[in-house]
C-alpha cells in the first residue's frame, strides 16, 4: 500500500488527506496576511477619504466589525501593522523582582495577597497590565 492514491487524476496523500501537489499551509497563511494587509490599507484609505464604515464594508465585502476594528487600530496606533514582541511583557520592574523573591525566601508561606499588598505599600507600579 502506498501513501498516495489518485482521486480524479490528482495524487492525494492518504495519511494527511490533502492533495500532494497542494500549496503548503504556511504559504497559504502568508497569502492571507498579504490580502489582509491590502484590505487594511484599502479600509484606511477609504476612511481617510471620508467614507462611512458601512459604505467601506459594502464596497470591500468585509464585515463592518472588521472595518471598525481596523479603523480603531489605525486611529490608536497610527498604523495597521501588527506590533511584534519577541517575549512576554514583564509584570514587575527588574528592581522589584528580587525584592519579591527575597520576601518569599524569608517566609515561604507568604500569600499572593500579601505580596501584592507589599508592592502597593512600596508604591510599585505594575508594568503590565497597563
Span 6-45, pLDDT tens digits? 555 655 555 555 554 554 444 455 556 666 888 999 999 9
Confidence of residue 122 (pLDDT cuts 50, 70, 90): confident
- Answer yes or no: are the C-beta atoms of 70 and 41 closer than 8 Å: no
Is 124 inside any structural domain?
yes
Is 7 inside any structural domain?
no
According to DSSP H, which parts of the chain are helical? 25-48, 53-60, 64-77, 96-106, 112-121
Measuring CA to CA, which residue among 98, 46, 102 is closest to residue 70?
46
- Residue 42's pLDDT is 93
Q: Tens digit of pLDDT for each residue in 64-78?
A: 999 999 999 899 888
**Residues in contact with 118: Cβ distance below 8 Å, sequence separation at least 6, in sequence order:** 100, 103
Is 3 inside any structural domain?
no
| CB-CB neighbours of 68 under 10 Å | 15
d(CA 60, CA 63): 9
Q: Is the pLDDT of residue 113 over 60?
A: yes
Whether residues 65 and 116 fall in one domain: no
Whether residues 42 and 68 fall in one domain: yes
Is 95 inside any structural domain?
yes
Whether residues 58 and 91 fall in one domain: no
Whether residues 29 and 58 fall in one domain: yes
- Residue 28's pLDDT is 56
- Altogether, the residues listed in the chain come to a count of 130
Q: Total domain count for the chain?
A: 2
d(CA 4, CA 7): 10
Q: What percent of the chain has pLDDT over 90?
A: 31
Q: What is the span of the domain harbouring residue 55?
A: 24-84
Confidence of residue 121 (pLDDT cuts 50, 70, 90): confident
Residue 8 or residue 51, greater confidence: 51
Is 4 inside any structural domain?
no
Mean per-residue pLDDT, 85-96: 78
Whether residues 34 and 57 fall in one domain: yes
Whether residues 31 and 80 fall in one domain: yes
Whether residues 91 and 78 fall in one domain: no
Whether residues 32 and 67 fall in one domain: yes
d(CA 91, CA 49): 41
Residue 107 or residue 9, greater confidence: 107
Residue 47 or residue 129, greater confidence: 47
Peptide bond into 129 cis (omega under 30): yes
- Residue 27's pLDDT is 46
Amino acid at each position: 500500500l502506498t501513501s498516495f492514491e489518485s482521486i480524479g487524476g490528482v495524487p492525494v496523500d492518504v495519511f494527511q488527506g490533502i492533495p500532494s501537489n497542494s500549496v503548503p499551509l504556511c504559504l497559504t497563511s502568508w497569502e492571507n496576511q498579504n490580502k489582509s494587509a491590502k484590505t487594511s490599507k484599502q479600509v484606511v484609505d477609504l476612511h481617510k477619504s471620508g467614507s462611512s464604515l458601512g459604505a467601506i464594508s459594502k464596497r470591500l465585502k468585509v464585515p463592518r466589525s472588521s472595518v471598525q476594528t481596523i479603523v480603531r487600530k489605525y486611529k490608536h496606533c497610527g498604523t495597521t501593522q501588527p506590533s511584534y514582541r519577541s517575549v512576554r511583557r514583564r509584570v514587575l520592574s527588574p528592581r522589584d523582582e528580587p525584592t519579591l523573591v527575597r520576601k518569599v525566601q524569608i517566609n515561604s508561606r507568604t500569600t499572593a495577597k500579601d505580596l501584592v499588598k507589599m508592592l502597593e505599600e512600596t508604591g510599585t507600579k505594575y508594568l503590565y497590565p497597563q
